[in-house]
């Protein structure tokens, strides 16, 4: 089991306690500390795990790669240090990989309850992550590595994580997974997550991930499908139409709102766009209503619109940056002039 960690003294003890409480004990536990400045290393020393300590911060991709390189088992189980696994999570992963020989990645879901309840932002994000991941149960096309198992041979074949990426690195990993390997989500493989609990850090994280995702994954769709590590072209993961509608509607709402100054009748346009975003998220909002009640529903609807807007801006900047790099790359290619005889 590989546990990347950076300044998670609050949750690391809970994470490792849950790891060592698994019904199927892990063969080895490797904590990769990414140059933490808190008490993380002292906490890890309380457990019989191997600790790899980076002298400088290198990012989660490098931490996971280092842990995988150190591991000797046939299956790598990655769990982030702010997650406490349910006792049977490892057993479910092993069982799933055995039941589906073609499975290259099996990933779990977040519990509906956060590890610590720190307020409405965290409550919203935990609810959203639980809903989204649980809805994807079964075969999927996107890799997420917060609590995920992968055969070591498959991980080595793919080549690990791109250490240049500090966001969306897990999604990018999946784009290089050979087509013959299936990606599965198990709703029985659960962990309680201590998520971000303040609005500004949450939106900042969302923005960074959207920019990176657009540049590393979305822009890749413009090229011919690249061959995976096994030689086959990986089919791009499907687009979530609801998310696209929500993002575009939110962005256009801001863009069209000034039209109200020209005529009150033009208010119908941004109102219609807000309605489109609500319709796109109707299943999520209904889920929020069932589990948290009408007051939380209003809060969730407002925050969902704000997250769509943040993603819209981030994706726009990411795609624009990728386009600019592509234009510059084409412009810098040497021109070959055929000589005449």
Lowest mean pLDDT across 78-87, 259-268, 293-302: 259-268
The predicted pLDDT at position 66 comes to 98
Element (H, E) at 5: strand 2-5
Q: How far is CA 288 from CA 5, 28, 137, 199, 293, in A?
A: 31, 39, 19, 18, 7
pLDDT value of position 301: 93
Is the per-residue pLDDT at 229 higher than 70? no
What pLDDT shows up at residue 328? 77
Note the pLDDT of residue 255: 87
Residues in the chain: 341
Mean pLDDT of 72-82: 97
Check pLDDT > 90 for residue 71.
yes
Q: Which two tokens stand for residue 17?
A: 């306690």
C-beta of residue 3 within 8 angstroms of C-beta of residue 84: no
Q: Are 64 and 2 in contact (CB under 8 A)?
A: yes
The two tokens of residue 69 are 């390189």
CATH 3.90.550.10 domain locations along the chain: 2-196
C-alpha angle 4-6-12 in degrees, rounded to nearest 5: 70
The pLDDT value given to residue 261: 85
Q: What is the mean pLDDT of the chain?
A: 89
Q: Mean pLDDT across the stretch 179-197? A: 95
Q: Work out the pLDDT band at 339, boundaries 50, 70, 90.
A: very low
Q: How many CA atoms lie within 13 A of 214 on its CB side?
A: 22
Percent above pLDDT 90 for the chain: 65
Q: Which CATH superfamily is domain 2-196 in?
A: Spore Coat Polysaccharide Biosynthesis Protein SpsA; Chain A (3.90.550.10)
Q: What is the mean pLDDT of residues 253-270?
A: 86
* 330 has a pLDDT exceeding 90: no
Nearest to 281 by CA among 132, 160, 82, 149: 132
d(CA 319, CA 316): 5
Task: Report the pLDDT value the prediction gives residue 75, as an integer from 0 to 100.
Answer: 97
* Per-residue tokens: 219: 């822009």
Q: In the predicted model, what is the mean pLDDT of residues 47-54?
A: 97
pLDDT band at 217 (very low <50, low <70, confident <90, very high): low
pLDDT at residue 238, as a whole number: 60
Identify the three-state secondary structure at position 33. strand
Lowest mean pLDDT among 156-160, 209-213, 334-338: 334-338
Q: Tell me how far apart the alpha carbons of residues 75 and 63 are, in angstroms, rounded to a whole number.
A: 17
Rg of the Cα atoms in the chain? 22
């Amino acid at each position: 089991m590989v546990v990347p960690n950076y300044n998670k003294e609050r949750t690391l003890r809970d994470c490792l306690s849950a790891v060592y409480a698994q019904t199927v004990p892990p063969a080895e536990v490797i904590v990769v500390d990414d140059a933490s400045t808190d008490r993380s290393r002292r906490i890890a020393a309380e457990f019989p795990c191997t600790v790899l300590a980076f002298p400088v911060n290198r990012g989660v991709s490098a931490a996971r790669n280092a842990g995988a390189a150190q591991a000797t088992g046939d299956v790598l189980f990655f769990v982030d240090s702010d997650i406490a696994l349910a006792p049977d999570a490892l057993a479910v992963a092993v069982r799933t990989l055995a039941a589906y020989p073609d499975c290259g990645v099996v990933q779990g879901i977040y519990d509906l309850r956060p590890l610590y309840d720190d307020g409405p932002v965290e409550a919203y994000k935990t609810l959203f992550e639980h809903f989204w991941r649980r809805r994807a149960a079964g075969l999927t096309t996107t890799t997420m590595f917060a609590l995920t198992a992968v055969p070591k041979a498959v991980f080595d074949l793919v080549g690990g994580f791109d250490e240049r990426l500090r966001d969306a690195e897990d999604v990018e990993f999946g784009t290089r997974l050979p087509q013959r390997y299936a990606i599965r989500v198990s709703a029985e493989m659960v962990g309680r997550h201590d998520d971000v609990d303040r609005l500004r850090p949450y939106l900042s994280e969302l923005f960074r991930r959207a920019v990176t995702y657009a540049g590393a994954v979305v822009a890749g769709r413009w090229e011919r499908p690249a061959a995976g590590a096994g030689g086959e072209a990986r089919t791009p993961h499907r687009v979530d139409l609801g998310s696209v509608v929500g993002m575009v509607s939110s962005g256009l709402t801001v863009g069209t709102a000034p039209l109200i100054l020209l005529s009150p009748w033009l208010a119908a346009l941004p109102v219609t766009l807000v309605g489109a975003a609500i319709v796109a998220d109707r299943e999520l909002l209904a889920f929020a209503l069932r589990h948290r009640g009408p007051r939380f529903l209003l809060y969730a609807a407002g925050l969902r619109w704000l997250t769509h807007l943040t993603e819209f801006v981030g994706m726009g900047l990411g795609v624009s940056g990728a386009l600019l790099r592509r234009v510059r790359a084409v412009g810098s290619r040497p021109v070959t002039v055929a000589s005449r005889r």
